[in-house]
Amino acid sequence: MGVDTTTVNPASGHKSVHVTSQASFTYGLFIADIIHMPGSICGVWPAMWLFGPNWPVSGEIDIIEGVNTQVHNTITLHTGSGCYIINEGTLESTTLLDTANYQNYSNSLNANSGGIYTIEWTLDYISIWFFGLPTMRFTGGSGCNIDTYFINNNLIFDTTFCGDWAGSAKTWNTNLECSTLSSNCNDYVATNLAAFTKAYWLINSIKIFN
């Protein structure tokens, strides 16, 4: 699933990617075997996410997301007002372990021939893994009833050109690499088609147990 890299400066803007599941989900185990995702490219905003029909009341789960030349994944929840995730740490031992995994996003993921993301969404928590180490676990606890704030979400893959994150003046201007190439995101995307040949998703499989 790739963006338009052939049409020069179209009046309506370049065609990007937005694919949404026909089914919606409340709870489930989602396993995404991804071989390639859009690289860290100025003007590009790739994402794999779950999104409800009445935002933000029905919730949003950002599983893979980043913009421009970002090299690390951003995992985020969006909800209506009143939800506060309460995660308390535990001391398992006095041995320090590095749980960071920098091969789970963009160029690093692609160089590693992809990987598998798994999302477990239950009544009480939302966990996200990039095999093998656990990546993120959102436990509602007393601060957020997960069952209330996340409901009827669709699974979405998209690759956005610019948009209100990658293309915002603040984001663009604070990225030295991108702002050196052009004064703004829209102009850069319009005239640099060759930069986006790696802005595509290649997915081996999506398995959902619900």
Instruction: Return the active site residues.
Output: 60, 65
CA–CA dist 186, 163 (Å, integer): 9
- Answer left, alpha or beta for residue 169, where phi above 0 means left and psi between -120 and 50 means alpha: alpha
Taking only Cα atoms into account, the Rg of the chain, rounded to an integer number of angstroms, comes to 18
Instruction: Single out the residue of 76, 85, 80 nearest to residue 54, CA to CA.
Output: 80
Residues 6+ apart with CB under 8 A from 153: 24, 25, 26, 50, 51, 52, 58, 59, 60, 61
Task: Report helix, strand or coil for 127.
Answer: strand
Residue type, 185: C
